[in-house]
Amino acid sequence: MPQATDLIDVHHHAIPPAYAQALGDRVAIPGVDYPTWTPEESLEVMDRHSIAASVLSITAPGVTFADRDEARHLARQVNEYYAELIARHPARFGAFAILPLPDVAAAKDELAYAVDELGLDGIGLLTSYGNRYLGDPEFEPLLAEIAERGLPVHVHPGTPPAKDLATFDLPPSLYEFTFETTRTVISLLFNGVLERLPHLKLIVSHAGGTLPFLAQRLTYGPTIGKYLTERAPSDVIASLRGLYYDIAMSANPYALPALTELAAPDRILFGSDFPFMPAAHTTENVTGFATYPGWNDQQRMAIGRTNALQLFPRLAEQLRGTV
């Protein structure tokens, strides 16, 4: 079992000052109490829960609330903030760069700057932009470039784009986020993106949403509708097993058995969802991770630490320097 300061948290959110100012009093996620955040708060929670390092990301709505020029400027501000924070704490923080989507050309420009100039560790994407999920052909050139660069991609759900969807006056993050993750992965599956980009390192949030439960059902596409024969992946289960899954909000006896039936231990990563889930939940998730009986100590070490270090070589090098 990982010991003190061993865990790597790949689902840990930041709220940079420029981002908070730009968001203002907008409703970021309906029904969700938007937290405050400072790096010091993250470090305190990390230290208290034996988390060596966290890879930071912006949650929904990303920069989609801004117009085109503002979105480009705000993404640049966030990514430069990340780089400055990492420079101050190189062994404690990594970051997934935010991109000004749905403008793919601007996103590719920011990708190059964030990775080549700032040295950020990966890319953070939302499950949809406008009315298009990540399997939409418009996004494939960007995903192809990310895959070619060998960068990990953290995919975070957002509010469903369908405005007429009944949400029962409940926060979409309570349950719809899991379906949004499912929808975007299904779009990637049945549009052939995962087969054309087999080296794309996608990390999907919250144990994959409902994907573990639906995995076998998704193999029945051509059975349900013959028109799907040409669109269906050659091996749905293998494609799903090729994804990475974080266990934010999911290290519990209900979610982990389904996930571990689908995903091998080398495809599972620790996540906390701090600060959108409070420190008490980090305690709950760490405890659930540490006590789940379905993993042996070697597998637990891989999930808690070594899988992430393989995905984030800069962070791995920094952590080696602290030993």
For residue 47, give Cα distances in angstroms to 4, 43, 268: 9, 6, 22
Q: Which residues contact 41 (CB under 8 A, 6 or more apart)?
A: 275
Q: Cβ(246)–Cβ(211) under 8 Å?
A: no
Q: Which residue, chain included where needed, has tokens 């349950």?
A: 175
Q: What is the pLDDT of residues 244-279, one digit of tens each?
A: 999 999 999 999 999 999 999 999 999 999 999 999
Q: What is the pLDDT of residues 167-222, one digit of tens each?
A: 678 888 999 999 999 999 999 999 999 999 999 999 999 999 999 999 999 999 99
Counting residues of the chain whose pLDDT is more than 70, the rounded percentage is 97
Residue 29 in this model has a pLDDT that exceeds 90: no
Instruction: Set out the domains of the chain in order of their start, with CATH numbers.
Output: 7-322 (3.20.20.140)
- State the pLDDT confidence band at 162, using cuts at 50, 70 and 90: confident
For residue 189, give Cα distances in angstroms to 113, 186, 196, 262, 322: 29, 5, 10, 16, 40
pLDDT at 86: 98
Closest CA to 237 of 263, 258, 200, 273: 263
- b vs e for 9-18, b when ≥16 Cβ sit within 10 Å of the residue's Cβ? bbbbbbbbee
Strand-strand pairing, 128-129 and 201-204: unpaired
Residue 5 in this model has a pLDDT that exceeds 90: no
Report the C-alpha gap between 120 and 315 in whole angstroms: 10
Q: Cβ(136)–Cβ(127) under 8 Å?
A: no
Strand-strand pairing, 93-98 and 7-13: unpaired
For residue 184, give Cα distances in angstroms to 104, 208, 254: 17, 11, 23
pLDDT at 204: 98
Tokens representing residue 117 in the block:
């100039």
pLDDT at 322: 64
Please, what is the average pLDDT of the chain? 94
Helices (H) and strands (E) in the chain, counts: 15, 10
Q: Cβ(72)–Cβ(106) under 8 Å?
A: yes
Closest CA to 151 of 261, 14, 55: 55
Q: Cβ(65)–Cβ(26) under 8 Å?
A: yes
- State the pLDDT confidence band at 1, using cuts at 50, 70 and 90: very low
Report the C-alpha gap between 152 and 96 in whole angstroms: 8
Q: What is the pLDDT of residues 8-24, one digit of tens each?
A: 999 999 999 999 999 99
Region 114-141: what's the mean pLDDT? 97
